[in-house]
Amino acid sequence: MNNGSVFVVDDDQSMRQAIERLLKSARFKTRLFASAHAFLEQFDPTVSGCLVLDLRMPGMTGMELLERIADTDHQLAVLVITAFGDVPTAVRAMRLGATDFLEKPFNPPEFVEHVRQAVERAADLNRQHQARQNALARFNTLSPRERDVLNMLLAGMSNKQVASGLDVSEKTISAHRSHILEKTGADSLISLVHLLGLAGIECRQVPRRRSSRSSSAAPLARPEGEHRKDDLDHDAKI
């Protein structure tokens, strides 16, 4: 059986049944929905697969369904099918996340090939999602001070400059840097930049954990003579 599920949303029962027979003959797992609302009731953004979506349906249209799921970070490759296709409609659907567009009536072998490609795209989306979640989980292990240090290092500052900016010793920054690499599994700042890309975080914008004392993501200067406890601990151990 082909990997990945195919979800068919079309109000036309005869069309749903025809698509189901066609996809079952190609050994795809298929689930049918008579309306956009019925699909949304069981929609799980973490499930990967191909969504075959008709645009013109009573109640919620296919385009409205695309709008509803657009911001959910879903892992569906959307194949839009419609008997009323035009360029503006296709463009709008693509902007809302559709990956393919096919006009009815379609050639059965061509349709199956479009679905096969969509399932492959969905598998790619799933791999990208997993890599992003893994990268984010690594960055979430960093302490607020380690995130401050990382932001400054990514801005091109040396250990000495970071130490001066945070009013701590250079040995403390070296220790923070080692802990950052260890926690993220990176072996250099260059590989950290790659990991940031996987996590969808722009360089020099590593979010600092929110606290009740401050909501700022930027490193904070300390009054002269004042040090964070974790910095003092590093100095004591080195």
Q: Does domain 5-129 have CATH number 3.90.230.10?
A: no
Q: 31-45, 123-137, 217-231 — which is least confidently predicted?
A: 217-231
Better-scored residue on pLDDT, 116 or 86:
116
For 183-205, what is the mean pLDDT? 79
How many helices (H) and strands (E) would you count in the chain?
10, 5
Best-predicted range by mean pLDDT (63-77, 128-142, 211-225): 63-77
Specify the residue for token string 């795809």: 28
pLDDT band at 130 (very low <50, low <70, confident <90, very high): confident
For 21-39, what is the mean pLDDT? 95
Better-scored residue on pLDDT, 171 or 201:
171
Range(s) of the chain covered by CATH 1.10.10.10: 140-237
Beta partners for 3?
none
**Strands annotated E in the chain:** 5-9, 29-33, 48-54, 75-82, 98-103
Better-scored residue on pLDDT, 223 or 10:
10
CA distance 53 to 41: 16
CA distance 11 to 221: 61
**Number of neighbours of residue 178 by Cβ within 10 angstroms:** 10
Range(s) of the chain covered by CATH 3.40.50.2300: 5-129
Residue 49 predicted with pLDDT over 70: yes
Torsion sign over Cα 164, 168, 171, 172: negative
For 10-36, what is the mean pLDDT? 95
Instruction: Of 46, 96, 95, 98, give the one whose Cα is nearest residue 75.
Output: 46
Task: State the Rg of the chain over Cα.
Answer: 25
CA distance 142 to 138: 8
CA distance 39 to 37: 5
DSSP output for 75-110: EEEEEEEESS--HHHHHHHHHTTEEEEEESS--HHH
What would be the CATH architecture of the domain defined by 140-237?
Answer: Orthogonal Bundle (1.10)
